Amino acid sequence: MNAVGRQRSGTSAVHHQRQYSDNFLEASSNGRWLQSAGLQHFQSSNNSVPSPQDFGYYGGEGQGTRMYRNVQRTFTGGSDLFAEPLTPPANSRPLGNWKNREEQVSPNEFSPGLLDLHSLDTELLPEMAVPGHTSSVYHAGRRGSFDYSEPYLVSSKQTGGVRGMPDNNLLKSFAPDKEKTSNVAKIKVVVRKRPLNKKELAKNEEDIIETHFNSLTVHETKLKVDLTEYVEKHEFVFDAVLNEEVSNDEVYRETVEPIVPIIFQRTKATCFAYGQTGSGKTYTMKPLPLKASRDILRLMHHTYRNQGFQLFFSFFEIYGGKLFDLLNDRKKLCMREDGKQQVCIVGLQEYRVSEVETITELIEKGSAARSTGTTGANEESSRSHAILQLAIKRSGDGSGSKPARVVGKLSFIDLAGSERGADTTDNDRQTRMEGAEINKSLLALKECIRALDNDQGHIPFRGSKLTEVLRDSFVGDSRTVMISCISPSSGSCEHTLNTLRYADRVKSLSKGNNSKKDILSSTLNLKESMTLPLASVLPPASTFEDDIADSWPEQADGEEYDASEKFYEQEKSSWKHGKLEGYSLSNMEDTRRRDNGQTNWKVPPKSDPKHSHSDDGLNALLKVITTGKLV
């Protein structure tokens, strides 16, 4: 497993310095996010981006008093929270407190055009031979050193008639063969830890996250009955763990870069960020589409030159269960399904793009129009799920004479911040309702990923608008990358554990190697999920009840009532009947552990007579062993 940049090593000081020069070089927030994307040379110097007033506030549509981001607020908004540099590398932070305490280890792109809804563009093209590709080692040497400077981009040389495109001899080659496609994991779970911010430092909050190669340990301080403190360790293993020193460039390399070539191979891929409000989801997600577009354009103009591929860009959000076009004055959109159960977003404006600069402008424009609000942890919190889609289309015969149809799609989802209901007690009703809606969709997302990975016949896409919209990204040949963002602070420990457990659950769904152990583990996870359905996202009782009673005004009129309500009711019922008991079965969650620096694959959880699901799990396990079938 890749460990670049995640371990403190002899180069850590360099990483550290680069990380912050990436993120904090300019005072201009616009420049800042381009820098953090490694694309500062694309910073718009013209006035083509509309003025803030153009999107300052969009009334109506039941948006109440919600605020929208203006151009001045970019994803690094609120950076006043951060000192520069912020934290020394985690390993250099004194872990003394933990050590002094008694330890307890718990096993644990500009030609705008309206989207032609009735073109068959939601259908994937039949497989077409793509001649003339260069087949070389795509990732050769990338693990050894970080290419922070991105020389092919910094270079002022223009090649191939596409601005911002790399110099030929620096062009990375992609091998678009089937084998490569299947080599990219179906589900990849990556965790990113952000540095402590000013607020947390001011409160003397400790960094409780210790990162290793592809694992991390959370040091949770607890109190015994006699009020003496002890530290409980929670260990998790993921596909990659990115610490606070890791730049957005490396995040891209680890997460999205490997899936870019395969979207030319009839694959739909989704990358989403999950995590507590203020944990760095927007910071992490915002640079990714630009970097991916750059690579896609490079492939289109080099490897796939003159083959009729086109790149289309769209950007919308789901707020309160409704869809809004972020590139068209927040126009309300409708989601429809065609006869083939393909999802069509009626009215969504799509832009055909061929230059990175244009994409930069579109991202700026869309981000400025997002719904934001204030939460306890983030003054400018994203209260919507933002979905940015890059669709690769090609005319049916590859010559451009027939209408273009979708070949592959790459969706970037910046999910709204997850919150525990407990955190919403000092928030207004609107914020609490947002929280409930957000949690519902996160739960539905997890359920879909779970069902997909278990090859279940029924995928509960109707669980939420989010999953309905993402339906066509999950069926067929799809890839999912989940980036779990966490805060390192002791004050966010519970959130962090919830986020990691969600991530671990998603990860455990991946059959990856299809080893028997994995299958067994999936069985156990499924079993557990049946008894603990709302475990990781459910707000506490009081808030949950309030939120149910308060249902969204737009939904109350039944206009867009859908199966999600029913789903929600079912989940609520499960919860009411106490099926969440045993949620803290951390040994069930932390399925893989490290031992003496070696990663051990999933082990079945220990039997615990107090928890009946353990017996169920063992029974399931035995059945699989004896029958070779999942039960």
Ligand X SMILES: Nc1ncnc2c1ncn2[C@@H]1O[C@H](COP(=O)(O)OP(=O)(O)OP(=O)(O)O)[C@@H](O)[C@H]1O
Binding-site member from 164, 280, 287, 463 for ligand X (CB under 6 A): 280
Q: Is 485 in the site for ligand X (CB under 6 A)?
A: yes
439 binds ligand X (CB under 6 A): no
Binds ligand X (CB under 6 A): choice among 278, 287, 320, 421:
278
- Which of residues 275, 408, 539, 617 is near ligand X by CB under 6 A? 275
Cα 22–262–4 angle (5° rounding)?
40
Q: Which stretch binds ligand X (CB under 6 A): 71-79, 233-241, 460-468, 543-551?
A: 71-79
Is 628 known as a binding-site position? no
End-to-end CA distance of the chain: 31
Tell me which of 219, 281, 301, 501 binds ligand X, using CB under 6 A.
281
Q: How far is the CB of 441 from ligand X (least distance, A)?
A: 13
Determine the Cα–Cα distance for residues 479 and 186; give it in Å rounded to an integer.
5
275 is in an annotated binding site: yes
Residue nearest to ligand X (CB): 417
Using CA atoms, how far residue 61 sits from 66, 324, 547, 557, in Å, is: 11, 9, 20, 14
The answer, yes or no, to whether the previous bond of 85 is cis (omega within 30 of 0) is yes
Q: Where are the beta strands (DSSP E) in 202-253?
A: 209-211, 215-223, 229-237, 240-242
Q: Which stretch binds ligand X (CB under 6 A): 9-17, 43-51, 150-158, 189-197?
A: 189-197
> By CB under 6 A, what part of segment 129-168 binds ligand X?
none
CB neighbours of residue 105 within 10 Å: 12
Q: Is 194 in the site for ligand X (CB under 6 A)?
A: yes
> To the nearest whole angstrom, how small is the minimum distance from the Cβ of residue 482 to ligand X?
14
CA distance 140 to 208: 35
Verify binding: residue 427, ligand X, rule CB under 6 A: no
In the set 195, 321, 366, 463, which binds ligand X (CB under 6 A)? Answer: 195
CB-CB neighbours of 622 under 10 Å: 11
Question: Pick from 282, 473, 523, 587: which binds ligand X (CB under 6 A)?
Answer: 282
Least distance (Å) from ligand X to the CB of residue 187? Answer: 21
Q: Is 193 annotated as a binding residue?
A: no
Stretch that binds ligand X, among 108-116, 270-278, 334-342, 475-483 (CB under 6 A): 270-278
CB 190 within 8 A of CB 477: no
> CB–CB of 624/604 below 8 Å?
no
* Token pair belonging to 225: 């009955």
Q: How far is the CB of 556 from ligand X (least distance, A)?
A: 26
Contact 351, 358 (CB under 8 A): yes
Residues 23-42 that bind ligand X (CB under 6 A): 23
- Is cis: bond before 258, omega within 30 of 0? no
Helix (H) or strand (E) holding 408: strand 404-414
Number of residues near ligand X (by CB under 6 A):
25
Taking the alpha carbons of 291, 297, 298, 303 in that order, is the dihedral positive or negative? positive
Is 87 among the residues that bind ligand X (CB under 6 A)? no
Q: Shortest distance, CB of residue 10 to ligand X, whole angstroms? A: 22
Q: How far is the CB of 278 from ligand X (least distance, A)?
A: 5
Q: Coil, strand or helix: which one is 178?
A: helix
CA separation for the pair 176, 557 (Å, rounded): 49
The reply to whether 617 sits in an annotated binding site is: no
Task: Work out whether 522 is an interface residue with ligand X (CB under 6 A).
Answer: no
Residues 35, 108, 270, 279: which binds ligand X (CB under 6 A)? 279
Query: Looking at 87, 349, 382, 492, which residue binds ligand X (CB under 6 A)?
Result: 382
Region at 5 (left for phi over 0; alpha for psi -120 to 50; beta for the rest): left
Binding residue for ligand X, selected from 76, 499, 536, 587, defined by CB under 6 A: 76
Q: How far is the CB of 20 from ligand X (least distance, A)?
A: 8
By the rule CB under 6 A, 277 interacts with ligand X: yes
Contact status, residue 299 vs residue 264, Cβ threshold 8 Å: yes
Instruction: List the one residue out of 170, 410, 160, 177 whose CA is nearest residue 301.
Output: 160
464 is known to lie in a ligand binding site: no
| Out of 378, 427, 499, 591, the residue judged to bind ligand X by CB under 6 A | 378
Of 4, 34, 81, 196, the one binding ligand X (CB under 6 A) is: 81
Contact 424, 435 (CB under 8 A): yes
- Could you give the CA distance from residue 220 to residue 234 in angstroms, rounded to a whole number? 8
Selection from 425, 406, 536 nearest residue 473 by Cα:
406
- Minimum CB separation of residue 244 from ligand X in Å reads 6
277 is an annotated ligand-binding site residue: yes
Please report, in range form, the residues annotated as the binding site.
275-282
By CB under 6 A, name the binding residues for ligand X: 23, 75-76, 78-79, 81-82, 194-195, 197, 275, 277-283, 375, 378, 381-382, 416-417, 485
Please report, in range form, the residues annotated as the binding site for ATP.
275-282
